[in-house]
Structure 1
Amino acid sequence: MKKNSNHRQNGTIALNKKARHEYFLEDKFEAGIALQGWEIKSIREGKANIADTYVIIKHGEAFLLGAQIQPLLSASTHVVCDPDRSRKLLLKRRELHKLIGASERDGYSIVATAMYWKKHLVKLEIYLAKGKKDHDKRDTIKERDWGREKARILKHNPR
């Protein structure tokens, strides 16, 4: 079976585009996700969504909240499918300690930005992030618009 959709060729399953707008992203981590069999099948069919997700630390373990993985219509009847359940993240102990310290002491949030395939495993890209204020968001929009305008000017006026 040939898969010819572009997002599957580069390995990306789902993106959280709002995270870059809402937060200053600082430290990047790669985490595995503890998934059930029906979830993997649904992810292969492209039924995953990580918009508005975040990570919490509970009892020294990291959990992903807000991710939705819709069950397939052909899912087995004896399996209880909960699309909004919290999923455990698989991180190294040192990474967990760094996340715990930054979120509890320094007031950082932990935000998921991308879900992707790495060989046959599903991985989650998470960042330590600081929330942006409204004026920061406006500044980001102005800088992006100015960059576009500058590119147009340089394209039409080569020197």
Structure 2
Amino acid sequence: MSKKAAKDKAKGSGTIALNKRARHEYHLVERFEAGLSLQGWELKAIRAGRANIGESYAMVRGGELYLFGAQITPLIQASSHVVADDRRTRKLLMHRREIDNLIGKVERDGYTLIPTALYWKGNKVKAELALAKGKQTHDKRASEKDRDWQREKQRAMRQHNRDA
């Protein structure tokens, strides 16, 4: 293991939670990085691996971005003095011009903001947001068909290279 990899592992960097269903349900157009406003018990729970963003989404309210439906299950020992709501609304932190740009695309162009990942950046938790359009059923089938074809092609190439 390299020194950088060991340092990153000790620092706790890497992916916290992924929203794998987002690529299946939506056409992801553009990605953004946003900070998360968290409480202390939430940070401890995230370090313990208790975050889930599978059913979450982001919305604009009063000119600010908020994350809805993200589940951070509290640790019993870390949240004894606080009434912990595991699905509370959390504020997303971005620059004003980025928020204004997103507001325009969401309200005028009909996009949806979907969180695709939570990850560590240094000692801060970041959320990757994607501007997305919903897929129709036939689009999902076409994506699945393309993915299966790519997989079959790879298998055939591997087999051909082994035989040669």
**d(CA) in 2 for partners of 1:57 and 1:42?**
26
CA offsets 1:93-149 (integer angstroms, 9 cap, x no match): 111011100000000000000000000000000010000000000000000000011
CA offsets 1:4-27 (integer angstroms, 9 cap, x no match): xx8x96510000000000000011
1:147 aligns with 2:150: yes
> Could you tell me which residue of structure 1 aligns to residue 25 of structure 2?
22
**d(CA) in 1 for partners of 2:46 and 2:92?**
16
> Could you tell me which residue of structure 2 aligns to residue 118 of structure 1?
121
> Could you tell me which residue of structure 1 aligns to residue 135 of structure 2?
132
Aligned residue pairs total 154
Q: TM-score, normalising length from structure 2?
A: 0.89
CA offsets 1:67-100 (integer angstroms, 9 cap, x no match): 0001101034321111010000000011101110
Which amino acid in the other structure matches residue 86 of structure 2? Answer: P
Q: 1:24 to 1:36 in 2, by over 3 A?
A: same
Q: 1:77 to 1:10 in 2, by over 3 A?
A: closer
Find the residue that maps to 2:33 and give its secondary structure.
strand
Q: 1:35 aligns with which of 13, 38, 42?
A: 38
Find the residue that maps to 2:49 and give its secondary structure.
coil
Which amino acid in the other structure matches residue 93 of structure 2? Answer: L
CA offsets 1:6-49 (integer angstroms, 9 cap, x no match): 8x965100000000000000111000000000000000000110
**d(CA) in 2 for partners of 1:79 and 1:11?**
28
Find the residue that maps to 1:157 and give its secondary structure.
helix
> Could you tell me which residue of structure 2 aligns to residue 65 of structure 1?
68
**More helix as a share of residues:** 2
Q: 1:86 aligns with which of 80, 85, 89?
A: 89
Q: 2:112 aligns with which of 100, 109, 112?
A: 109
> Could you tell me which residue of structure 2 aligns to residue 95 of structure 1?
98
Q: Percent identity?
A: 56
User: Would you identify which runs of 4 or more consecutive aligned residues in structure 1 move more than 6 Å?
Assistant: none
Q: TM-score, normalising length from structure 1?
A: 0.92
Unaligned runs of 5+ in 1: none
> Could you tell me which residue of structure 1 aligns to residue 3 of structure 2?
none
**d(CA) in 2 for partners of 1:87 and 1:123?**
12
Unaligned runs of 5+ in 2: 1-5
RMSD: 1.7
Conservation of the 8 A alpha-carbon contact between 2:13 and 2:121: no
